[in-house]
Structure 1
């Protein structure tokens, strides 16, 4: 079957609490709103369901792990009922004494966990006090669109974003708990440099810095959560006229340029080229 030309996604901006039960109720309410709006996928912020270390959680002993696990299953059950894909920021507990992963669970529209992205580039505080790092990228496909996953401080590692370009993603899902407004500039730059959509989901607590939004493959903001709102609906549209240069020309040409053959075949032997110390 030919890939779909467009896909509607929902991007959440929720208030995250230390109570997994409360967070779970918020997640499921927004899942219903997304489904009613025709979205096929909804994305949530970093640590959305479990609470995020350094903010809602200061010690893992504070976490009601049974509640977190039950809420994970409730979200998965509703995903199946709504036929909705869910990318859920939460904590993935490991076997003690190992620290947990900071993760994005990818739940398909049958309610199955089809993969999990574990944050690879943890911050100094995270890696020394809170989390175990992951080591692998994560991609998955919905209706012919391929998605990749990244989390928060990884915005500062461009090699991760170029890796996803090589993995041929159409859209990078970046879930975060940002600490400055320059974060949005970096996200728009990664989208424009790699010519893919970038969906950024952040908590309501950081709305004064930036809001959840969908960035196009040429770096413009296509949709943004309104003031006081918790959800924005965006469209990944391969046929949009304003995206044809980014998708149809810039992205394939840059891939060819990175491979380098178009330059190697034009190398010349010339003394004026080799001499770097004269005009």
Structure 2
């Protein structure tokens, strides 16, 4: 009621100042308010996690410990005011290909998914969903998703809503050779979801190597891509992080880079702004979070211009020169 009275007072003040009728002043102020609303960027506080590394799905105690670590970071994100928390690939467990191999561990062969403590995983996921509801925190979480036998599982990202429900799920599409040969069933479609008017896309694993994945999300009008990975295979591998910076800059959207905590093996988790620069990064090698306020700037001309540039605007300006012209005319 107070806000309504203040608005009416502004209408009367404008009418007195300009000599307009009350109705005309009301029309102008309503139009101005609508334009101001449109021009305001949609902002949301995003947290990205660097969570613990666990690779043995046979170890029930380790799965429980991973779940406890995830919930600890969820509480930290809530205290930091985050609306969405983004976790790495395999945050619940990143199954080791040698542990899972039927002919391992010295050789890599088809994975034996009967070795996975699925009941323990389900209990931990239920506890995570309950906490997401209690905190009112959207949680994007890397986990293995079991399919009916004899199908291999998906390598997935669960999108858990602030109501504690699995709102949707992204399944890694561009699997590595080992993953597709011995471990997982590939996904088939991109995924977008919205929170408070901010649209997210998801990518996973090694998909940072495939620019078409990130270009597709630009066409799907996302404001931020959440990329979850276990990290590179080489010591001090910064390639994945650098590629995510490039995709953010090329497509002019935010990108979140979530990686498992493996000291000395990969770049830390962080959030990249649409200009390709790191807005925030985790500082240490262990589990932690950082937060940034993200959203699309409605007055940024770069993204609309790049869409126009890809749409054939140069065609009317292209000319054909006579290839038989004298070589001296080339300089």
TM-score by length of 2: 0.76
Contact 1:20 1:51 in 2 (8 A): no
Aligned to 1:41: 84
Q: Distance in 1 between matches of 2:226 and 2:96?
A: 21
Is 2:317 the partner of 1:258? no
Q: Alignment partner for residue 5 of structure 1, among 38, 42, 46?
A: 42
Deviations, residues 197-251 of structure 1 (Å, cap 9, x unaligned):
1101101115542000000101000000111451111221546xxxx8xx71211
Q: CA deviation at 1:62?
A: 2.1
Contact 1:85 1:106 in 2 (8 A): yes
Q: Distance in 2 between matches of 1:277 and 1:65?
A: 75
Is 2:135 the partner of 1:82? yes
Aligned to 2:69: 26
Helix, strand or coil: the match of 2:314?
Answer: helix
Q: Distance in 1 between matches of 2:84 and 2:139?
A: 6
Deviations, residues 7-57 of structure 1 (Å, cap 9, x unaligned):
111111111223321111111111111111100010111011133343775
Q: Pick which of 91-100 and 2-11 moved more.
A: 2-11
Contact 2:192 2:199 in 1 (8 A): yes
Q: Cα gap change, 1:156/1:264 in structure 2, threshold over 3 Å: closer, same or farther?
A: same
Q: Distance in 1 between matches of 2:92 and 2:316?
A: 53
Q: Pick which of 247-256 and 131-140 moved more.
A: 247-256
Q: Alignment partner for residue 242 of structure 2, among 175, 185, 190?
A: 185
Helix, strand or coil: the match of 1:248?
Answer: coil
Aligned to 2:199: 146
Q: Alignment partner for residue 195 of structure 1, among 242, 247, 252?
A: 252
Contact 2:50 2:260 in 1 (8 A): yes
Paired residues, number? 270
Q: CA deviation at 1:183?
A: 1.5
Helix, strand or coil: the match of 1:132?
Answer: coil
Aligned to 2:182: 129
Aligned to 1:16: 53
Q: Distance in 2 between matches of 1:52 and 1:162?
A: 30
Deviations, residues 46-78 of structure 1 (Å, cap 9, x unaligned):
011133343775542221111111211211111
Question: What do you get for the CA RMSD once the two structures are aligned?
Answer: 2.2
Q: Pick which of 146-155 and 2-11 moved more.
A: 2-11
Q: Cα gap change, 1:138/1:26 in structure 2, threshold over 3 Å: closer, same or farther?
A: same
